[in-house]
Amino acid sequence: MKTSIINNPADAALEITAGRIVALPTETVYGLAADALNPSAVLKIYETKKRPDFNPLIVHVSGIEEFEKYAEIIPESVFKIAETYSPGPITYVLNKNSVIPDIVTAGIDTVALRIPAHPLFRQVLTMCGKPIAAPSANMFGRISPTTAEDVLKELDGKIGYVLDGGRCRIGIESTVVRFEDDKIIILRHGFVTKEDIEKVTGKEVTTLKGKASKISSPGMLLSHYSPHTPLYIAEDLEYFKNVNANAGIVDFGVYRDLKETALNLFSDLRIADEKNFNYLVTRLVENKGLGRAINDRLVKASSGRAVVENGSVLFSKK
Ligand code: TXA
Ligand code: MG
């Protein structure tokens, strides 16, 4: 199959309506989209990405008024967060009703709903009149794409079209938040931070760690967002600047702030990955606010590989 980059959202909407999959831009990363109410179209997403069938997909809708079509109970906190952050990079995990097919949610009883902000994605939603299921448009485990060209590097020959919406303005995925009784739990850190959510809801927000997060958000695997070149996390990049090995240094310290780091995170990893280094080295950012989402991606991209200052391997999963 030849993959073409297109510019007209109407062509993308036609693809989705016809039960095919197409890559669409969002403000976070590019998504691989299908009609969420069409199980055979959704199956194509899993097959194309080689995504494990236990990992549920996010369903994108045009506005908060759509939530009651697909979710059972919508807590007040959801509306409070949405007032400020939707449309935008936040995903609400709510108890599902039977309208969304089981394949979308990998058989679990919750559904992840997001209202994307990208104008082209919003036009496609309006033209289709259907909820759209879309994971990031990368092969499973790989770096998320933030341009149409990145999507081609991942999926060329596997899909018909990529709708070009330019470079994603955020560059890191949405925050995935579970609402359970009165509790608010972050399942995946993203652009909207724990502090942002606490501020608008006036409630404490918790984060799942370790085993609990695997059960509640099955997609949270240790190895993810990975370059082909092994990525190590070091405490001090200076050491590697002087080592005469073919090491690619990915230094996010060059950016002015965490937003700029998030914007360049996946593209810098992808560029370094294309340069034939023996390995890549990076360091974590300060672990607060948006830094949590950035560090989460870096740790997963390194599959748990870390080194101490003098270059010796502290812990390696592989
Ligand atoms: O910014 C984003 O969220 C992008 C754009 C395309 O919208 N999408 C994205 O999708 O990052 P994906 O599939 O790469 O990541 C979705 C995450 C996975 O970790 C998945 O396990 C989790 O959301 N998720 C989806 N449905 C869930 C559910 N019902 N319960 C818990 N976690 C869920
Ligand atoms: Mg993904």
Per-domain residue ranges of the chain? 4-207, 231-317
Residue 146 beta carbon below 6 angstroms from any ligand 1 atom = no
How remote is the CA of residue 22 from the centroid of ligand 2, in Å?
16
Residue 103 beta carbon below 6 angstroms from any ligand 1 atom = no
Calculate the alpha carbon distances from 123 to 133, 159, 209 in Å. Answer: 15, 21, 37
Q: Residues 289-317: what's their mean pLDDT?
A: 80
- Tell me if residue 54 falls in helix, strand or coil: coil
pLDDT-based confidence at residue 219 (cuts at 50, 70, 90)? low
53-66 confidence digits (pLDDT tens): 999 999 999 999 99
Q: What phi and psi, each to the nearest 5 degrees, are found at residue 155?
A: -125, 15
CATH number for the domain whose boundaries are 231-317: 3.40.50
Residue 88 beta carbon below 6 angstroms from any ligand 1 atom = no
At 318 the pLDDT is 44
Q: Residues 90-98: what's their mean pLDDT?
A: 97
At 248 the pLDDT is 93
Residue with CA at minimum distance from ligand 1 atom 3: 174
72-88 confidence digits (pLDDT tens): 999 999 999 999 999 99
Q: What is the number of other CB atoms lying within 10 angstroms of the CB of residue 220?
A: 20
At 309 the pLDDT is 63
Residue 171 beta carbon below 6 angstroms from any ligand 1 atom = no
Give dist(CA 217, CA 177) in Å, integer.
10
Q: Residues 151-156: what's their mean pLDDT?
A: 98
| Domain 4-207 top-level CATH class | alpha beta
Residue 152 beta carbon below 6 angstroms from any ligand 1 atom = no
Give dist(CA 285, CA 298) in Å, integer.
9
- In sequence order, what are the beta bridge partners of 162? 5, 23
Of the candidates 189, 221, 220, the residue with the CA atom closest to the CA atom of residue 206: 189
How remote is the CA of residue 104 from the centroid of ligand 1, in Å?
11
Least confident of 121-125, 147-151, 284-288, 309-313: 309-313
254-301 confidence digits (pLDDT tens): 999 999 999 999 999 999 999 999 989 999 999 999 999 999 999 999
- Does residue 234 or residue 268 have the better pLDDT? 268
